[in-house]
Amino acid sequence: MCGIIGHIGTGNALETLLTGLENLEYRGYDSAGIAVQNGSGIAVQKRSGKVDELKNSIGDRHIEGNVGIGHTRWSTHGPPTDENAHPHTDDTADVAVVHNGIIENYADLKSWLRERGHEFTSDTDTEVIPHLIQYYLDAGMANEAAFRRAIDELEGSYAVTAMLDGEHVLYAARQGSPLVVGVEDDEFFLASDVPAFLEYTDTVVYLEDGDVAIVDEDGVEFTDLAGESITREPETVEWDPEQAGKGEYDHFMLKEIYEQPTSLAQAIEGRIDPENGRIALEDFPSGTFEGVGNVQLIACGTSYHAALYGSLALNQAGIRATALLANEYSVTAPPVDDETLVIAVTQSGETADTLNALRQATAAGADTLTVTNVVGSTAAREADDTLFIRAGPEIGVAATKTFSSQAVMLTLLAQRIAADTCGEPPADLTSLLPDLSRMPAQLESMLVTDDAARIADRYRDSQSYFFIGRGLGYPVALEGALKFKEITYEHAEGFASGELKHGPLALVTPNTPVFAVFTGDEDEKTLKNAEEAQTRGAPVIAICPDDHRAVEVADRHIAIPATDSELAGLFANVQLQLVSYHAANQLDRPIDKPRNLAKSVTVE
């Protein structure tokens, strides 16, 4: 989950590396470091803490050179200390390496290298890589051969970028962790993710597992690990560089909440025809899903809540569907047959648990489809089909606009699958699609209110926070609780409304506000469950339209527009995102960089 940046070109690499690290901090912010070829060796500077602390430590230190690598870390092996920060070097400091992933056989390699006189200064698994390269250099191998031989010794997942003293070359390899090359005339970049260098170039080449890239001032050579030449075609990323910045907002999370009218408009553009009640998913011609008998949706975290939303929409459409945690799929996966469609839901397309579950489903013979935000991602390449959510770059660690776009696209996909399997979509598309087409504008109007900020202030000293919902409101309740706990550090739990009286009600006190999501489906039951908490002293906050009966019963109310029941929960979700944001802001939490978390989880 760490962030890698590399640069080679005509200008000084330092500024580019630091900019890239700032752009990548959502991938990890325990420590950061850079290494630059400065003409008299490799200059390394690294520090525990955020990139700003690294910049302060550099100060006026003379670090110049047109070749360099950088890294921002999310700790796996070893705590976040100066010693454990990347880049790591060998004993002679002639080799510098940055790495994302986990080297599973590092203990054996470390022991083997120690027996041969190598001394280690960190607790990380990464440090074995520069030592291995140096070992093979000392054995007489040329630089490229030593790099390949060292990489061949590694077991586990990795994206590795290395540079060796005395040459203007970057070596890179990928197995199970993302790595992308950026190309702009005579400038070349290596990174874990496109936003690292998006302000410099939008032309990218995605490395695949087993690829090696050799980058120098003349260009990039792509080979397999054995050295055989391979072709990797460049692609143009259609993200606006300004989308990767905060602009006028204090936090990326708030910016991305407010971008949801735009991201949803992008998601549905050209894909719905409200006037004729028709869904047009361009990559899925009529009959694509004809043989689908059951659907398994696999995902983690926020994407799992979107997958759960999608599974309920599929069930309502008459399709057997189950949402499963990707990290449990290897243990609890239901049987797969020739009527099974497995849908991997992953914002980045690089989530390790989801990729492993996707590969397991493929090996079992299932048809596969990925719902993702990133063109060229591993999930997009490995699945049989892909549905892109078109949300644009999301930098805040707490996912916001991607959840909304995932849920909307899964709702459309549910109707599309049902149309192929049942002959026609079961939902009244003449109601759903016009409401969906109005959703971006309605969201924009809703976002100008301050209901959520007032509620956050009113209940900010509470002991615990409960979120309840029924049907499609249930995954929204789960997601509301997840957002709240991950950025406020306060205790929050989400429940199916009817489950309150089966245990959680024992925890309810006057200091436990209950946020109740009303979607228009069986709202009387949800209201009754909320009242059960209210009679025990809990304040109830209803998320519903202004004219809903729950407004009369609840202690407080956060308004959403009146809309189709399949969409109401998504308006409620945005309001709950705002409640979480304002509560965290009032508590002075590091909203974009919550402790112990990272944006893209590329290790199991």
For CA atoms 373, 575, 304, 327, the dihedral sign is positive
For residues 449 and 552, the model is more confident at 552
pLDDT at position 498: 94
| Residue pair 306/345 in contact by the 8 Å Cβ criterion | yes
- The Cα 120–Cα 355 span in angstroms is 33
- The Cα 152–Cα 141 span in angstroms is 14
- The Cα 453–Cα 250 span in angstroms is 15
Going by C-alpha positions, the residue among 568, 546, 284, 307 that lies closest to residue 436 is 568
> Residue 295: exposed, middle, or buried by beta-carbon count in 10 A (0-12, 13-18, 19+)?
buried
- Per DSSP, 439 falls in state H
Q: At 429, list the tokens.
A: 């598309």
Query: Which SS3 state, helix, strand or coil, does residue 215 take?
Result: strand
For residues 531 and 286, the model is more confident at 531
* Strand 465-469 relative to strand 340-346, pairing: unpaired
- The Cα 326–Cα 582 span in angstroms is 31
Q: pLDDT at residue 360 above 90?
A: yes
- The Cα 71–Cα 63 span in angstroms is 16
Residue 311 and residue 219 share a domain: no
For residues 337 and 77, the model is more confident at 337
Residue 459 and residue 508 share a domain: yes
Residue 217 and residue 308 share a domain: no
Q: What is the pLDDT of the chain when averaged over all its residues?
A: 91
Q: pLDDT at residue 512 above 90?
A: yes
Residue 528 and residue 515 share a domain: yes
Q: What is the pLDDT of residues 305-352, one digit of tens each?
A: 999 999 999 999 889 999 999 999 988 888 999 999 999 999 989 888
Q: Residue 295 belongs to what H/E stretch?
A: strand 294-299
pLDDT at position 430: 79
269 band by pLDDT with thresholds 50, 70 and 90: very high
pLDDT at position 599: 65
For residue 599, being part of any structural domain is answered with no
| Residue pair 193/180 in contact by the 8 Å Cβ criterion | yes
Going by C-alpha positions, the residue among 54, 132, 137, 65 that lies closest to residue 97 is 132
- Per DSSP, 294 falls in state E
Residue 192 and residue 144 share a domain: yes
For residue 245, being part of any structural domain is answered with no
For residue 595, being part of any structural domain is answered with no
Looking up residue 70, the CATH number of its domain turns out to be: 3.60.20.10
> What residues contact residue 218 under an 8 Å CB cut-off, 6+ apart?
none
Query: Which SS3 state, helix, strand or coil, does residue 146 take?
Result: helix
**Residue for token pair 């189709």:** 564
Q: Rounded mean pLDDT of 83-91?
A: 92
pLDDT at position 29: 78
Residue 207 and residue 117 share a domain: yes
For residue 572, being part of any structural domain is answered with yes
| Residue pair 13/188 in contact by the 8 Å Cβ criterion | no
Residue 49 and residue 89 share a domain: yes
Q: Rounded mean pLDDT of 94-114?
A: 94
- The Cα 81–Cα 292 span in angstroms is 51
CA angle 248, 253, 255 (to 5 degrees): 35
515 band by pLDDT with thresholds 50, 70 and 90: very high
Q: At 551, list the tokens.
A: 């407004």
pLDDT at position 27: 77
241 band by pLDDT with thresholds 50, 70 and 90: low
Give the range of the structural domain holding residue 140, as residue numbers without chain letter: 3-237
pLDDT at position 344: 98
Q: What is the pLDDT of residues 106-123, one digit of tens each?
A: 999 999 999 999 999 999
- The Cα 483–Cα 486 span in angstroms is 5
Q: Which amino acid is at 523?
A: D
pLDDT at position 1: 62
pLDDT at position 244: 64
For residues 187 and 276, the model is more confident at 187
Model pTM score: 0.81
Residue 457 and residue 439 share a domain: no
Residue 360 and residue 500 share a domain: no
Number of structural domains (the chain) is 3
Q: Rounded mean pLDDT of 568-579?
A: 97
Looking up residue 559, the CATH number of its domain turns out to be: 3.40.50.10490
- The Cα 443–Cα 430 span in angstroms is 20
% of the chain exceeding 70 in pLDDT: 97
Q: Which region among 3-7, 412-416, 426-430, 557-561 has the lowest average model confidence (pLDDT)?
A: 426-430
Residue 494 and residue 412 share a domain: no
| Residue pair 491/462 in contact by the 8 Å Cβ criterion | no
Residue 214 and residue 133 share a domain: yes
For residue 597, being part of any structural domain is answered with no
- The Cα 229–Cα 192 span in angstroms is 22
| Angle between helical axes of 429-446 and 401-422 (0-180°, round to 10) | 180
List the alpha helices (DSSP H) in 44-127. 51-58, 106-115
* Domain-ending residue, one of 411, 446, 481: 446
Q: Which amino acid is at 157?
A: S
Active site residues: 2, 599
Residue 477 and residue 437 share a domain: no
